[in-house]
Structure 1
Amino acid sequence: MLLTLTPGLDTALILRTSIAEGRKNGFKAALGINAGCYIWGTIVAVGLGALLTASQVAYDCLKWVGAAYLLWLAIQLVLARPQPLAVSFTSIKPNTTNWFLRGCLGNILNPKIGIFYVSFLPQFIPVGQSPVIWTFLLVSIHVAIGTLWSTVLISIAAKASGYLQQPRIIQWMNRVTAGIFVLFAAKLALGSR
């Protein structure tokens, strides 16, 4: 069940970033996703995650904000101009995209991660033990699995990047990823708990 949280939206973001913008930015996105897991873990550990379980209004608000964020990412991908692979040293521009923040926001704005943590993690906390410590231990296990998965994806993407960084391929990947983001936004907006 833990592995099913990583594939999908997170996988699309990591692959697209790694191929189009390099291994370093792929790892930044993956680290942002992991940070989002720890933020959700903190929310659950201090009991605020229970609010999402108990309050339909809180859940719906976060759901709609998350869906809007995914649509915003999709629009940016569709409008992006693919950058050529060969960049001369005189034309290098600093990268202004904060992939860590994008990965983190993509994870934080998904209320299903919070619901998953609230419903799944407590069953593994031993009776009489600190829920905070055990929640962070379990989130750390989830992050470790996600990091392993992300590392494999980024490594595969790096090996294939020569082919995959062609402007037409990047444009195609941007559109496919944007389509995935739109589908996830629709699923998030129209789905129930």
Structure 2
Amino acid sequence: MVELAAILGVVSVALGMVLSPGPNMMYLVSRSISQGRRAGIISLGGVAVGFLVYLVGTNLGLAALFAAAPQLLTVIRMVGAFYLMWLAWNTIKPGGVSVFTVQDVPEDPPRRLFMMGLMTNLLNPKIAILYISIIPQFIDLEKGNVLLQGILLGGVQILVAVSVNLSIVLAAGAIAGFLARRPSWLRVQRIVMGSVLGVLAVMLAFDNSVTST
């Protein structure tokens, strides 16, 4: 039902998004460095639940919306492309922030860590636009069952995001220390991730295959 090209497209977008500066990554890295890996993992649990909330909520609404007005996929595709380009610029521009530029945060108990991770994700405009404007453009109306396609593609995004975030949480302390001693590597990280997002934005903007009939 979901073609390999769509899955690979979502994987590419998910990687570009999760490795670019954003509230989720900033929060998880800060917690992992200041309070330890366990705190980072608990916080990541809240972030993961936030992804599930977006997955269910947006797909239940989008399934009915696209069935009634399939032309909206074109609008959504362009909005998603413009957002990716904006995110790319904010990553590369002078003064852009790396995901490993960490701010001190106070220690909190597990329940608060989980809830803060959840709310950070739910209130993250980056994730809202990802689910509302970017992932839906990989849905092919001719393949049928829009709801199932949306859930499967969203599941792929969650798998990528949680896996990458977990890896970074476990290695946050070592990575932050390494990059702090090598500021040029921070700039390289921003340039690479920003470039990936920019390429994805152009590809989404000019790829009409997902809305062709």
Give the TM interval when normalised to the shorter protein: 0.5 to 0.7
- Say yes or no: does 1:12 pair with 2:12: no
Structure 2 counterpart of 1:155, one-letter code = L
Cα distance in structure 1, aligned partners of 2:77 and 2:155: 26
Cα distance in structure 1, aligned partners of 2:156 and 2:205: 28
Structure 2 counterpart of 1:180, one-letter code = V
State the TM-score, normalizing by the size of structure 2. Answer: 0.59
Identity %: 14
Match of 1:175 among 185, 191, 194: 191
Structure 2 counterpart of 1:35, one-letter code = Y
Cα distance in structure 2, aligned partners of 1:47 and 1:40: 10
Indicate how the Cα distance of structure 1 residues 105 and 32 shifts in structure 2: closer, same or farther if over 3 A, else same.
farther
Indicate how the Cα distance of structure 1 residues 68 and 3 shifts in structure 2: closer, same or farther if over 3 A, else same.
closer
* Count of residue pairs brought into register by the alignment: 171
Alpha-carbon contact 1:29-1:102 (below 8 Å) kept: no
Structure 1 counterpart of 2:166, one-letter code = S
Report the equivalent of 2:208.
192
3-state secondary structure, aligned to 1:7: helix
- Say yes or no: does 1:147 pair with 2:158: yes
Indicate how the Cα distance of structure 1 residues 30 and 103 shifts in structure 2: closer, same or farther if over 3 A, else same.
farther
Match of 1:160 among 171, 178, 184: 171
State the TM-score, normalizing by the size of structure 1. Answer: 0.64
Alpha-carbon contact 2:58-2:132 (below 8 Å) kept: yes
Gaps of 5+ in 2: 29-39, 107-119
- Say yes or no: does 1:42 pair with 2:61: yes
3-state secondary structure, aligned to 1:109: helix
Cα distance in structure 1, aligned partners of 2:170 and 2:151: 28
3-state secondary structure, aligned to 2:196: helix
Structure 2 counterpart of 1:15, one-letter code = L
How far off is 1:41 after superposition?
4.2
Report the equivalent of 1:80.
96
Gaps of 5+ in 1: 90-96, 123-134
Show CA shifts across 1:41-93 (max 9, x none): 4222x2534633xx3xx44332222211111111221242446447486xxxx
Alpha-carbon contact 1:70-1:182 (below 8 Å) kept: yes
